Amino acid sequence: MKNAINKLGNFINELGKIVFLNRENSLIFSQFEVNLTGLNENKMNKKLENFINEIPKAELHLHIEGTFEPELMFDIASRNHIELKYKSVGELKQAYNFNNLQEFLDLYYEGANVLIHEQDFYDLTFAYLEKIHKQNVVHTEIFFDPQTHTDRGRAFETVIKGIKRALEDGEKQFGITYEIIMCFLRHLNEDEAFKTLEQALPYKDWIIGVGLDSSEVGNPPSKFEKVFEKARNEGFLTVAHAGEEGSSDYIWEALNLLKVSRIDHGNRCLDDEKLVDKLVDLKIPLTMCPLSNLSLKVINDLKKHPAKELLDKNVIVTINSDDPAYFGGYLRKNYFALAEALDLSAADISVLASNSLEYSFLDSAKKLQHLDKISDLLKKFNN
Ligand SMILES: [Zn+2]
């Protein structure tokens, strides 16, 4: 039966193209076209695409260093007189073909090497804001990795001041609200993380929380239990990458030892039913990143992405772009790709976008404003 409907749909689609060409000449044809929409897959997709584009979205899992586009990387390298290993933008882009998290990280750290001055961090951050503004991302909570920069002699203040100034300008120009989350590199030791926390204290008012990123396997959350405790005592919120490549035990540790407000990624929670129940009970959101998962081979097909299965189990899922310059797409593209692969409805999309705002660290009044807009747009979509 489904096949027959599809065939009919395809036939009418073809007819629809002819009708479309003649639309201005014939009211009858035009009416006919309206009746096609239910069966016309392309038009449905376009409508859903517009919906995804229009609804307000928040981004909760984004590494600012991972927004470094090759063109900007070459510009900044050239003005700082740094030679990149790659001869051209094209050659660099070809290197963006990763087999795992570590291969990506090696390239990521090399790119970050060209960031020297406050203005470099400003330009990097502002370029990201210009992009997301066009995609109706209304709020962003960005990660930055101070150790990637302080370990090569850059001052903590150079990094944070450049990022913060760009975020302030972005809010003024585009109305995008923001928070900053500082991540510890988990492949380094806890003493190094303590030093970084110390450097962050003068900028406490600028940084809402601390996180944990970089090479996951072999670097469990328990390795950072003490520094997270100190961070919480200093008033920082906590989040952590867990269960991307690491096992579901890492997610338990992030919850129990690091007392996180959100789990970044969390794909592997599905290995443990009790853990899924716990995430639901505690209302702990997962900040999932579909194109990143595909690019780093956490999954080999977007159709196998666990986002929908988790939504169906009442887990709070949000969609994010992680390191968009490296993984082939910013926030909107992650929504598009996932919607297509998992056949998501507008209602599913609105849940994902609402989650991103509701579980952001944005103030309640602003959250409500955005959530109202999403529900209005969903009503319009369904009419
Ligand atoms: Zn990440």
How wide is the angle at C-alpha 216 spanned by C-alphas 215 and 220, nearest 5°? 130
Q: Comparing C-alpha atoms, which of 337, 253, 289, 325 is closest to residue 64?
A: 325
**212 strand-pairing partners:** 184
Residue with tokens 């609402």: 354
Using 50, 70 and 90 to split pLDDT, how confident is the model at 136? Answer: very high
Q: What spacing in Å lies between the alpha carbon of 356 and ligand 1's midpoint? A: 16
Q: What pTM did the predictor assign? A: 0.87
The letter for the amino acid at 46 is K
| pLDDT on residue 161 | 98
Q: What angle do CA 291, 111, 159 make, to 5 degrees?
A: 100
Question: CA torsion 257→262→265→267, rounded to 10°?
Answer: 70
- Residue 92, classified by CB atoms within 10 Å of its CB into exposed (0-12), middle (13-18) or buried (19+), is buried
Please give the full DSSP string across 91-130, using - where no structure is assigned. HHHHT---SSHHHHHHHHHHHHTT--SHHHHHHHHHHHHH
pLDDT for 330-346, tens place per residue?
999 999 999 999 999 99
Residue 67: band (very low, low, confident or very high) from pLDDT cuts 50, 70, 90: very high
Q: How far is the CA of 108 from the centre of ligand 1 (A)?
A: 12
pLDDT grade, residue 8 (50/70/90)? very low
**Among candidate residues 118, 143, 5, the one with its CA nearest the CA of residue 66:** 143
pLDDT value at residue 94 = 85
Which stretch of 26-40, 47-61, 292-306 has the lowest confidence by average pLDDT? Answer: 26-40
Residue 373's identity, in one-letter code, is K
Closest by CA to 345, choosing from 302, 308, 371, 309, is 308
Please give the full DSSP string across 225-264, using - where no structure is assigned. HHHHHHHHHTT-EEEEEESSSS-HHHHHHHHHTT--SEEE
How many Å apart are CA 278 and CA 242, to the nearest integer? 15
**What is the whole-number distance in angstroms between the Cα of residue 63 and the centre of ligand 1?**
6
pLDDT at residue 21 is higher than 70: no
Which DSSP string do the residues of 248-316 spell out, in sequence order?
HHHHHHHHHTT--SEEEE-GGGGG-HHHHHHHHHHT--EEE-HHHHHHTTSSS-GGG-THHHHHHTT--
How many Cα atoms sit within 13 Å of 24 on the Cβ side? Answer: 1
User: Would you state the pLDDT for residue 266?
Assistant: 98
* pLDDT for the residue 337: 96
Q: Which of 166, 168, 155 is nearest to 196 (CA)?
A: 155
Q: What tokens were used for 189?
A: 């030791």
Going by the DSSP 8-state scheme, the letter that residue 62 receives in this structure is E
Question: Any catalytic annotation for residue 179?
Answer: no
- For β-strands 286-288 and 177-185, DSSP reports them as unpaired
List the structure tokens of 61.
């899992």
**Pick the catalytic residue: 118, 216, 244, 245?**
244
Partners of 172 in the β-ladder: none
Residue 92 reports pLDDT greater than 90: no
CA of 21 to the centre of ligand 1 (A): 46
Contact at 8 Å (CB) between 277 and 300? Answer: no
User: For the chain, what is the mean pLDDT?
Assistant: 89
The pLDDT value given to residue 85: 87
Strand order in the sheet with 209-213: 57-63, 137-144, 177-185, 209-213, 237-242, 262-265, 286-288, 317-319
**pLDDT, position 9:** 40
Instruction: Enumerate residues 6+ apart whose C-beta is below 8 A from 220.
Output: 246, 249, 250, 253
Q: Decide if pLDDT at 304 tops 60.
A: yes
Average pLDDT over residues 143-170: 97
The predicted-structure confidence for 245-278, as pLDDT tens digits, reads as follows 999 999 999 999 999 999 999 999 999 999 999 9
Candidates 235, 171, 168, 165; CA nearest to 204 is 235
Residue 47 has pLDDT above 90, yes or no: yes
Residue 202 CA to ligand 1 centre (angstroms): 25
Q: To the nearest whole percent, how much of the chain has pLDDT over 70?
A: 89
d(CA 149, CA 118): 12
% residues pLDDT > 90 (the chain):
79
Q: How far is the CA of 288 from the centre of ligand 1 (A)?
A: 9
Pair of tokens at residue 330 = 């910013």
Q: Which helix (H) or strand (E) holds 185?
A: strand 177-185
